[in-house]
């Protein structure tokens, strides 16, 4: 098994659970695989496909996913094809013939087609196994329910001797059980991989205004020039606006959302996959069909509605195992909007609960990875050291007086104020709302003048999280003081708040300081994780390798990451192989790529040795 892994995929070692899963499948048993995005699910059914006689039939929900997988397999000289509407009739005819003659090791197919062919072509084939990719699509409980998936359970009865493996990155327990049931799996063994992705850094920025967010994003991207990333926005309009902002700053960026014509969407996706446009501002419609392994960062412009979707989205960064960065912007406005959506949704309780957990992540004052992992039912015994809380533990102070000021403001307005007016009241600004209701005559008017409005917003968020106040979403988002809040208001309890870190934002406006801060940050990074790019020469070699990869990819009309992953390029930089044998020993270079690409890469590397 290990030899085949090296020969075809170029990898030296199995990732956790891969070996066990492969063994189980090749024994002809049904299997349910839960692994995070980027965990290495494909190998789990592709290697059995190579080991077993016949053709593996892989059901996949998206054309682009199928195409990507087939290209990656072919690039490793594995006989694979996708039967789909993107091919013309002749192509599909040829694929059918190949299937009947048993010439393919893997056949990718859509759920509709697999059912349509079940009593036809599939009967004439020797099928080694069925793999149901993105299996959560079968469940109404999952977040991507697809009606086309519901009939797939009949495959189990129609082909009783063929093992079925279902794979998904959705860990939800309800969904998991539903998948096994709907697919009629026979005593399936569940393989649950760890959902930890230690190479992804986690970062949350709170209370940025739109302008501040835009500025921060521009700088973030400029500091990582040329690297691929996605900015997820809540609305279609926001994706277009942000893309324009980035373009004005000289960044090669574009947008993507479901409101665009299909052709334009496909082109955008292609440009991203082929490294022609590094940055895409997108709604969540973007990404499910993307296997691009060298996405280096994912930014959330707005708060996502659940940890489930958040994790799926950030999971698109760093699939190749190299560091990936994630950044979430969190604001009160987003929270209020999402709460409202949740209230109005069909599954109110579930959606509110999901949002609460997301909020917990965004507001956490303990290691954020612990929150994520505990959501997926994993206990972690240590802080991760790769999230903003770990790197920069929050400072706390006695905020009792501050809380009392805010809460007494709410009480004096008889629970008829929202956030904005309350802040006006505390800050002593005579807004229309304030004067209309005569709030300027209250004792609390102006008691919080010394604190900027946006800091008040932040503190109020904290009070919300601490449970001192709540928002009446069904009553104009007015604020209410809770029982716990009263305890503080009447001096029976003290309140601890977290100081607001303004440093980051000030740095945005102050280049010199920022560069200095960046250097210390980098120094720290290098200490914990030596990256190979530490000398100029290496950097030049990396760029040269990247250019060669792009050239080869263009010649073959393939995405660059299919020719070679970023990780392989880094390893080439580090080890600088100058013989074919040494080139073949690089993790990620299989036999076929060794012969095919070796000579050109070696020639290039020799110039640097």
43 counts as binding ligand ADP under rule CB under 6 A: yes
Selected range binding ligand ADP among 31-39, 211-219, 410-418, 470-478, rule: CB under 6 A: 31-39
Structure tokens at 51: 């080991």
204 counts as binding Zn ion under rule CB under 5 A: no
Structure tokens at 210: 């739109």
For the CB of residue 370, give the shortest distance to Zn ion in the complex, in Å. Answer: 7
Q: How far apart are the first and last CA of the chain?
A: 35
Residue from the set 291, 325, 424, 458 that interacts with ligand ADP by CB under 6 A: 291
Q: Which residue, 269 or 565, is less far from ligand ADP as judged by CB?
A: 565
Name 253's bridge partners: 279
367 counts as binding Zn ion under rule CB under 5 A: yes
Which residue is associated with the tokens 């349910």?
32
Residues 454 and 283: their CA atoms lie apart, in Å, by 27
* Range 249-255, long-range pairs (CB < 8 A, 24+ positions): 249/218, 249/222, 251/218, 251/221, 251/222, 251/279, 252/277, 252/278, 252/279, 253/221, 253/277, 253/278, 253/279, 253/280, 253/281, 254/279, 254/280, 254/281, 255/280, 255/281, 255/282
CA atoms within 13 A on the CB side of 238: 15
3-state secondary structure (DSSP) of residue 174: helix
462 counts as binding ligand ADP under rule CB under 6 A: no
Q: From the list Zn ion, ligand ADP, none, which binds 15 (C-beta under 5 to 8 Å, kind-based)?
A: ligand ADP
Q: From the list Zn ion, ligand ADP, none, which binds 11 (C-beta under 5 to 8 Å, kind-based)?
A: ligand ADP
14 counts as binding ligand ADP under rule CB under 6 A: yes
State the CB neighbour count (10 A cutoff) for residue 376: 18
H helical segments located in 428-565: 432-436, 453-466, 483-489, 503-508, 511-528, 536-556, 560-563
Q: From the list Zn ion, ligand ADP, none, which binds 293 (C-beta under 5 to 8 Å, kind-based)?
A: ligand ADP
Residue from the set 4, 11, 148, 482 that interacts with ligand ADP by CB under 6 A: 11
Residues 538-567 that bind ligand ADP (CB under 6 A): 565
Residue from the set 25, 30, 34, 40 that interacts with ligand ADP by CB under 6 A: 40
293 counts as binding ligand ADP under rule CB under 6 A: yes
Structure tokens at 558: 């393939």
Residue from the set 117, 313, 320, 458 that interacts with ligand ADP by CB under 6 A: 320
For the CB of residue 562, give the shortest distance to Zn ion in the complex, in Å. Answer: 33
For the CB of residue 3, give the shortest distance to Zn ion in the complex, in Å. Answer: 39
384 counts as binding Zn ion under rule CB under 5 A: yes
Q: From the list Zn ion, ligand ADP, none, which binds 60 (C-beta under 5 to 8 Å, kind-based)?
A: none
Given a contact cutoff of 8 angstroms between Cβ atoms, the answer to whether 497 and 399 are in contact is: yes
For the CB of residue 169, give the shortest distance to ligand ADP in the complex, in Å. Answer: 6
For the CB of residue 298, give the shortest distance to ligand ADP in the complex, in Å. Answer: 14
State the CB neighbour count (10 A cutoff) for residue 90: 8
Residue from the set 22, 34, 35, 290 that interacts with ligand ADP by CB under 6 A: 35
What's the DSSP call for residue 153?
A: G
Residue from the set 37, 60, 182, 234 that interacts with ligand ADP by CB under 6 A: 37
Residues 97 and 13: their CA atoms lie apart, in Å, by 36
Q: Which residue, 234 or 565, is less far from ligand ADP as judged by CB?
A: 565
Given a contact cutoff of 8 angstroms between Cβ atoms, the answer to whether 404 and 490 are in contact is: no
197 counts as binding ligand ADP under rule CB under 6 A: no
Q: Which residue, 8 or 208, is less far from ligand ADP as judged by CB?
A: 8
For the CB of residue 14, give the shortest distance to ligand ADP in the complex, in Å. Answer: 5
Residues contributing to the site for Zn ion (CB under 5 A):
367, 369, 383-384, 387, 390
Q: Which residues bind ligand ADP (CB under 6 A)?
A: 11, 13-15, 18, 35, 37-43, 291, 293, 319-320, 565
């Amino acid at each position: 098994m290990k030899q085949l892994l090296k020969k075809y995929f170029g990898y030296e070692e199995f990732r956790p659970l891969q070996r066990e899963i492969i063994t189980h499948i090749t024994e002809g048993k049904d299997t349910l695989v839960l692994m995070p995005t980027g965990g290495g699910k494909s190998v789990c059914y592709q290697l059995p496909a190579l080991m077993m006689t016949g053709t593996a039939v892989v059901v996949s929900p998206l054309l682009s996913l199928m195409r990507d997988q087939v290209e990656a397999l072919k690039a490793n000289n594995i006989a694979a094809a996708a039967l789909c509407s993107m091919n013309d009739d002749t192509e599909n005819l040829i694929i059918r013939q190949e299937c009947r003659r048993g010439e393919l090791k893997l056949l990718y197919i859509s759920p509709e087609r697999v059912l349509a062919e079940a009593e036809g072509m599939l009967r004439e084939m020797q099928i080694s196994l069925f793999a149901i990719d993105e299996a959560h699509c079968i469940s109404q409980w999952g977040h991507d329910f697809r009606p086309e998936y519901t009939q797939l359970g009949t495959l189990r009865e129609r082909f009783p001797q063929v093992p079925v493996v279902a794979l998904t990155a959705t860990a939800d327990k309800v969904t998991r059980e539903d998948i096994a049931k709907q697919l009629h799996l026979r005593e399936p063994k569940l393989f649950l991989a760890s959902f930890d992705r230690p190479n992804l850094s986690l970062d949350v920025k709170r209370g940025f205004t739109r302008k501040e967010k835009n500025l921060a994003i521009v700088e973030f991207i400029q500091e990582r020039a040329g690297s691929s990333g996605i900015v997820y926005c809540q609305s279609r309009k926001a994706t277009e606006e942000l893309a324009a902002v980035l373009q004005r700053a000289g960044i090669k960026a574009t947008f993507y959302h479901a409101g665009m014509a299909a052709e334009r969407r496909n082109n955008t996706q292609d440009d991203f996959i082929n490294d022609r446009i590094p940055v895409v501002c997108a709604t969540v419609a973007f990404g499910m069909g993307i296997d691009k392994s060298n996405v280096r960062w994912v930014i959330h412009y707005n708060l996502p509605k659940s940890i489930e979707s958040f994790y799926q989205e950030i999971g698109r960064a760093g699939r190749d195992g190299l560091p990936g960065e994630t950044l979430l912007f969190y604001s009160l406005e987003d929270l209020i909007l999402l709460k409202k959506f949740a209230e109005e949704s069909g599954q109110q309780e579930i959606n509110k609960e999901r949002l609460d957990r997301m909020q917990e992540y965004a507001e956490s004052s303990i290691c954020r990875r612990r929150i994520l992992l505990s959501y997926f039912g994993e206990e972690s015994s240590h802080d991760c050291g790769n999230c903003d809380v770990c790197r920069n533990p929050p400072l706390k102070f006695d905020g009792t007086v501050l809380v009392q000021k805010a809460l007494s403001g709410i009480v004096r307005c008889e629970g008829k104020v929202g956030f904005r007016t309350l802040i006006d009241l505390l800050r002593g600004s005579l807004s229309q709302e304030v004067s209309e209701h005569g709030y300027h005559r209250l004792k609390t008017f102006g008691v919080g003048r010394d604190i900027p409005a946006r800091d008040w917003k932040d503190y109020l968020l904290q009070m919300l999280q601490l449970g001192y106040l709540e928002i009446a979403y069904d009553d104009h988002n007015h604020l209410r003081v809770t029982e716990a809040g009263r305890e503080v208001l009447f001096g029976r309890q003290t309140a601890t708040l977290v100081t607001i870190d303004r440093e980051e934002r000030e740095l945005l406006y102050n280049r010199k300081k920022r560069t200095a801060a960046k250097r210390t940050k980098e120094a720290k990074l290098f200490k914990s994780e030596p990256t190979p790019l530490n000398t100029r020469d290496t950097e030049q070699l990396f760029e040269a390798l990247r250019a060669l990869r792009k050239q080869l990819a263009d010649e073959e009309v393939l995405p660059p990451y299919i020719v070679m992953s970023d990780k392989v390029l880094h390893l080439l930089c580090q080890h600088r192989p100058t013989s074919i044998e040494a080139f073949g020993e690089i993790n990620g270079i299989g036999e076929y790529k060794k012969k095919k690409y070796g000579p050109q890469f070696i020639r290039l590397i020799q110039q640097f040795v």
